[in-house]
Amino acid sequence: MADADFKLSNVQGDILVGLSKKTEVFFFFQITNAGAFKSQLKNVVPLITTADKATGEKEAIRAFKAEKQVRINGVNGSSGTNELGEITANPPLLSVVGVNIAFSQKGLTALGVTDDLKDPLFAAGQKADAFDLADKGTGDTKDGFKPDWDDAFLQEKQEIHGVILVAGDSFETVDGKLDEVKGLLSTDGTSSIAQVATLAGDVRPGEFKGHEHFGYMDGISQPALNGVDNVDGKKPFPGQTLVKLGVGLLGRDGDDVQGRPGWAKDGSLLAFRKLPQFVPEFDRFLEDTADKITDFDDFSDAPSPADILGARMVGRWKSGAPIRITPLVDDPILAADPQRNNKFKFNPKSQEICPFAAHIRKMNPRKDLANPETSIDPHLILRRGIPFGPEVTTEEKLTKSTKYERGLYFVSYQSNLGNGFSFLQRLWANNQDFPPQEPEQPGFDPIIGQVHGEVRAMTGANDDATANSLPLDRQWVQSKGGEYFFSPSIEALNGA
């Protein structure tokens, strides 16, 4: 049951539901006039998409899609479709655009907020965490380490005080809404903020919709929150973990950090990371390596060895279906069925089906930890990222090297960064001994595991799933920076 005073209308929508998006802009800003900003912020609050509004929009989109399907199937005789199946008569227009806002510790300080949110990683900022996250950079110790990040995130010239997230159905609607918000944060033509950077992400086109740039379906496994995803007739999907509300929200059940200020309740901590992906190089590695380590192409209907190796590195096929030995093929129907696509367990002590190091097994080992008493619940995060950059060009495919930057703007929400994003990256992805499986050493997460750019290795990638170590010849995902933010409740924003 939900806490009695809990209201979806008090929580920003990206945290609990996710903003509906085809495209999303992240506007990173510095506050240049704190007094003006505080009074102007109250005018922005009515534009914020709350969790209840985000829920309503998702339902409207679902209904819209169902209606569109009816029209395409020709059941609704009042509208026509052309030979391409496109709707030709009076299609209903559904334009959705949502706004959320979050602040860094430097931003809270600029606004004169002196309360301690009791999250040391948030307080110090992500740059101070870069060495422990094992990002590439210069310097052998934490002191003086300079990550190899984009200038904006190094914050040497301008501090990042906050980020405005605007998501919607097109760049036009998103840009228009961002201009509206910026207009409200300005009086007589003088703005109370300055832009540090604007980053734009875009869902991949056509058949790749919902897939990240390596080609794998993303956004399949999310925790369900008690009091949100199991009320009003809703229930978690089979295999979906139901966690305490406080895993996502500060000040709620499960958020065991004592002494957080009351106004921080129903806010959440946001980790943003810019993660470029080297797609042609990743594909080249799969092609060059797979034949040497897999023998599955003996089966006539088997996928290519490169597809098998890729699936074993991620833990799912490109469609999003979890990998299984039988049948050894991708299964798009299973992938698209939320009643089944998370309903699986890893086989404890065995990496025959899924390597211990596979990205999804590292990030959510489910009930597979050596010590069954260890709960993974506090380490589950709400992921809300979006891809950025163009599709791989013909030239890049031919030369097998990246010319245009593309990747993932990673966004996660959690009530504690040391349990959430930072923990997953440092202690699971970058830890070759996790999950503990003696005598086998799982190796690094082949997708995001990193040691300051050094070569890493994983085991279990080969078809006989032995502990043979597979060197991962380079990083195919490389951090270009980010920041930690606090995404406050609506009441807190109104009282700022």
State yes or no: residue 360 binds ligand HEM (CB under 6 A).
yes
Residue whose CB is less far from ligand HEM, 102 or 313? 313
CB of residue 434 vs ligand HEM: minimum separation in angstroms?
13
Residue whose CB is less far from ligand HEM, 185 or 382? 382
Selected catalytic residue, list 119, 129, 218, 229: 218
Structure tokens belonging to residue 299 = 């089966």
State yes or no: residue 252 binds ligand HEM (CB under 6 A).
no
CB of residue 319 vs ligand HEM: minimum separation in angstroms?
11
Contact (Cβ atoms closer than 8 angstroms) between residue 360 and residue 241: no
Give the closest residue to 493 by CA, choosing from 37, 14, 42, 113: 42
Give the closest residue to 297 by CA, choosing from 285, 307, 288, 289: 307
CB of residue 419 vs ligand HEM: minimum separation in angstroms?
12
Residue 127's identity, in one-letter code, is K
Question: In this chain, which of 477, 490, 492, 493 binds ligand HEM, going by CB under 6 A?
Answer: 477
231 backbone dihedrals φ, ψ, rounded to 5°? -125, 170
Q: Which stretch binds ligand HEM (CB under 6 A): 59-67, 93-101, 143-151, 216-224?
A: 216-224
Contact (Cβ atoms closer than 8 angstroms) between residue 310 and residue 472: no
CB of residue 450 vs ligand HEM: minimum separation in angstroms?
10
Residue whose CB is less far from ligand HEM, 106 or 361? 361
Question: In this chain, which of 381, 386, 465, 490 binds ligand HEM, going by CB under 6 A?
Answer: 381
Question: In this chain, which of 447, 465, 470, 472 binds ligand HEM, going by CB under 6 A?
Answer: 447
The rounded distance, in Å, linking the Cα atoms of 412 and 38 is 26
State yes or no: residue 159 binds ligand HEM (CB under 6 A).
no
Could you count the other beta carbons within 10 Å of the beta carbon of residue 71? 22
Q: In terms of DSSP bridges, do strands 268-276 and 482-487 run parallel, antiparallel, or are they unpaired? A: antiparallel
Q: Which stretch binds ligand HEM (CB under 6 A): 29-37, 162-170, 201-209, 272-280?
A: 272-280
Query: What stretch of H or E contains 314?
Result: helix 305-314
Residue whose CB is less far from ligand HEM, 178 or 271? 271
Active site residue 218: yes
SS3 state of residue 346:
coil
308-327 positions binding ligand HEM, by CB under 6 A: 314, 316, 320
State yes or no: residue 21 binds ligand HEM (CB under 6 A).
no
User: Quick one: how far is CA 107 from the chain centroid?
Assistant: 23
The rounded distance, in Å, linking the Cα atoms of 452 and 94 is 45
Question: In this chain, which of 105, 155, 364, 462 binds ligand HEM, going by CB under 6 A?
Answer: 364
The rounded distance, in Å, linking the Cα atoms of 342 and 198 is 35
Residue whose CB is less far from ligand HEM, 7 or 340? 340
Instruction: Tell me whether the omega of the peptide bond preceding residue 439 falls within 30 degrees of 0, making it cis.
Output: yes
The rounded distance, in Å, linking the Cα atoms of 416 and 248 is 8
Contacts of 384 (CB under 8 A, 6+ apart): 14, 18, 19, 411, 412, 413
Question: In this chain, which of 214, 388, 413, 485 binds ligand HEM, going by CB under 6 A?
Answer: 214
> In the complex, which residues of this chain contact ligand HEM (CB under 6 A)?
212, 214, 216, 218-221, 273, 275, 277, 314, 316, 320, 359-360, 363-364, 381, 383, 407-408, 410, 421, 424-425, 429, 447-448, 477
Question: Which residues have a catalytic role annotated?
Answer: 218
